[in-house]
């Protein structure tokens, strides 16, 4: 078995933004709160962190700031994937240099790739990295599905240690787990499938929900991993309405609204994203209150 980056819940952290740029004061407060709440890892500048609309300068600055703020207290997973392999290599090298602990590498989007192209691209990035890499399969966003045979090939690379599976296809994930065994760690990429993926041998989740509920999302994972399947299942079902509300508009629109209500910065997303519709936000806030979140 390869070295595991983390076990439990890693928050796919929002990047607090204003019209003038990154709100680093709020970003620091958010990081400190997440750590105090017991989160197991923090994922920086991924999908939820709006990495796709950060400038290159902002992207690098956010990764460096997070690594320096966290100071080794939890693993820092840097979103460094791209549909341009050369750029992903360059950004990955930078993230390694500034102290990030692992990379999150999304499958190429828009130009996409064949399965052979995915193997070649991920291999090139992992070869250039001095830190472990977690692949990210989210075909609903990228139009590109990393299939079990290709993942099995990539699992043999010493720097490829995990996969965030957000295909939503439990049958595919089961096939991947059967092919790869303990050569790669699995993380749920969907908050409504945390327990199902743990049941297939998963190590945890890279989560949007844990922006709001870091302690509870981590607890759900660790309850299952410690053998209390019923308690973990009950938590999965308890938070399902809130999870659904967090994805009623494209992520990270709802979670940005939620975190603003909790006092973590402005409800600001960059175009082409726009703020949450008022009716949807009212329902989200009601579910947050039901979950015991002060808003």
Residues with a catalytic annotation lie at: 136, 164
Cα torsion 140, 142, 143, 147: sign: negative
d(CA 224, CA 197) in angstroms, rounded, equals 11
How many C-beta atoms lie closer than 10 Å to residue 85's C-beta? 20
Report how far apart, in Å, the C-alpha atoms of 186 and of each of 140, 166, 200, 262 are: 18, 11, 9, 31
The pair of structure tokens assigned to 150 is 């290709």
Query: How far is it, in rounded angstroms, from Cα 125 to Cα 47?
Result: 19
Identify the residue whose tokens are 């009212």.
282
Longest CA–CA separation in the chain, Å: 48
H helical segments located in 71-185: 85-97, 115-128, 139-142, 148-154, 170-180
Measured in whole angstroms, the distance separating CA 52 from the mean position of its chain's CA atoms is: 14
What is the distance between the alpha carbons of residues 137 and 221, in angstroms, rounded to a whole number?
A: 20
Tokens read off for 276:
């949450």
Q: In the chain, count of helices (H) and strands (E)?
A: 13, 10
Q: For residue 292, what are the contacts with CB-CB under 8 A and spacing of at least 6?
A: none
């Amino acid at each position: 078995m390869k070295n595991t980056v983390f076990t439990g819940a890693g928050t796919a952290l929002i990047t607090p933004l204003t019209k003038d740029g990154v709100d680093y004061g709020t970003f620091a407060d958010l990081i400190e709160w997440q750590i105090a709440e017991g989160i197991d890892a923090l994922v920086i500048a991924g999908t939820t962190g709006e990495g796709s609309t950060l400038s290159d300068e902002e992207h690098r600055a956010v990764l460096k700031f997070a690594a320096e703020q966290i100071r080794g207290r939890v693993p820092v997973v840097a979103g460094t994937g791209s549909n341009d392999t050369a750029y992903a290599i360059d950004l990955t090298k930078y993230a390694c240099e500034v102290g990030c602990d692992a990379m999150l590498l999304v499958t190429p989007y828009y130009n996409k790739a064949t399965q052979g192209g995915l193997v070649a691209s991920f291999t090139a990035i992992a070869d250039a990295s001095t830190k472990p890499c977690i692949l990210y399969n989210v075909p609903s966003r990228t139009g590109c599905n990393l299939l079990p045979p290709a993942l099995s090939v990539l699992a043999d690379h010493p720097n490829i240690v995990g996969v965030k599976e957000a295909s939503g296809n439990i049958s595919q994930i089961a096939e991947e787990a059967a092919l790869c065994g303990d050569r790669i760690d699995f993380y749920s990429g969907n908050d409504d499938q945390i327990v199902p993926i743990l049941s297939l041998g998963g190590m945890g989740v890279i989560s949007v929900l844990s922006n709001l509920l870091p302690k509870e999302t981590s607890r759900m994972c660790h309850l299952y991993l410690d053998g209390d399947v019923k308690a973990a299942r009950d938590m999965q079902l308890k938070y399902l309405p809130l999870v659904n509300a967090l994805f009623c508009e494209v992520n990270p629109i709802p979670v940005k609204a939620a975190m603003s209500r909790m006092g973590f910065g402005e409800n600001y997303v960059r175009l082409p994203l726009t703020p949450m519709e008022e009716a949807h936000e009212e329902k989200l806030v009601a579910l947050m209150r039901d979950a015991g979140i002060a808003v």
